[in-house]
Structure formats: C-alpha cells, structure tokens
Amino acid sequence: MLIDLHCHTWPRSACSALEPLELARLAAERGLDGICLTEHDRAWAPDELEALRAAAPIAIFHAVELTTDLGHILAFGLPAAAFSASAREVAAAAVEAGALLFLAHPARDGLLRVTRETVEFFVSVEAANGSDSRLQNIAAAGLAKGFRLPGIGGSDAHTAAEVGRAATRFAGRPTSDADLLEALRSGAYEALLLD
C-alpha cells in the first residue's frame, strides 16, 4: 500500500493551496492508495475527518506536523492535548501516549539540529520528502540509518504539483489511524521518491 505521509490542506494549514478532497483526488490519480493529513500544529475534528473519509476516493489518515524548538516533527498517534512547541514535552507525551515521532525534512535549511540528546526523542526521520532537493533527500536517507525504524516518505504537498512526489510503501494495508501507527511501529515499509 502506497501512502503519502506528509500532506497539508487549506484552511487548516494556511500555507496550503489544496482543498482536502482535491488532494485526495489528485493522490488517487497519481497512483497512491492513501494520504495522511499532517496539518501544521492543528488536529482535524473527528466528525470532519469522518466526513472527508466517506467522500474521498482513497484512504485518509491523520497525524500532525508540529513546529517545535528543534524544528518540525511528524507526530503519529499524539493526542491534540499534547501538542507543544517544546520537543522535549512532545517526546514525553509521545512515550505516554504510545505515539511515534519522526523528524520532518531533517536536512532542510538546518532547521533541526540532530544531537545525541535529540535522537532519543524520535524513532526515525522523513527520509524522502517530495519538496526537498535530491541532495537533501540523500542526506536524510543516510540519517535514517542511525535510527530505530526506517525512514518514512511524504510529498509535503501544499500545491497540486507537489502531490504524490514521495510516499511510503507499506507491506500491509492499514485502514485506520491505529492501523497506520502499528504499521509504522512494525518497520515493514520503505520511503520512496516517486517524481
């Protein structure tokens, strides 16, 4: 199953020009089986998410991209009450909630300093980002080898042209956010650049 694990939509992510259903339709046209909505510092309301899932032509998953003092973090399974600008607080909440944290676009513009201390906060990194350069993705993929789990892939789509540039291929077929979290925890996946 091919899932883009890093997507943004308007109006929840003000930087995005994509409507949620438009994103889902474009992703389906480009061969993806699912997308994960990772809005900036905001969670979707459960009822709105269910309505979108019912209308979408592919699977819709939900996580968040948090802006922290260490840069951007893709958080899977983290309750909205635990969102924080402190990476240390987010990491503590993730342990308590059984959530998984991945460094987003770790080789972009020096936004995130990877040290011995910060490596303990994350299970891995985004190893393939469709909005990063080839060299940034090579560096990120190399960085992923030092973590507990494989790196993930996502387009980081904010516009139609960016949809489906990168994704994560899963061995299984997750159907819910809980399934996705377990699939990520299993490590049975690979990050891919598709464009």
- Look at residue 38 and tell me whether its pLDDT is greater than 80: yes
Q: In which domain, by residue range, is 146 found? A: 2-193
- Look at residue 118 and tell me whether its pLDDT is greater than 80: no
The pLDDT of residue 171: 95
Q: What is the CATH number of the domain that holds 117?
A: 3.20.20.140
- Look at residue 92 and tell me whether its pLDDT is greater than 60: yes
Which is higher by pLDDT, 117 or 104? 104
Average pLDDT, stretch 11-29?
95
The pLDDT of residue 111: 54
Cis bond upstream, residue 11 (ω within 30): yes
Q: What is the number of structural domains in the chain? A: 1
Cα 95 to Cα 152: distance, rounded to the nearest angstrom: 19
Amino acid symbol at 5: L
Cα 102 to Cα 169: distance, rounded to the nearest angstrom: 16
State the burial class of residue 148 (Cβ atoms within 10 Å of its Cβ: 0-12, 13-18, 19+): exposed
The pTM of the full predicted model, rounded to 2 decimals, is 0.95
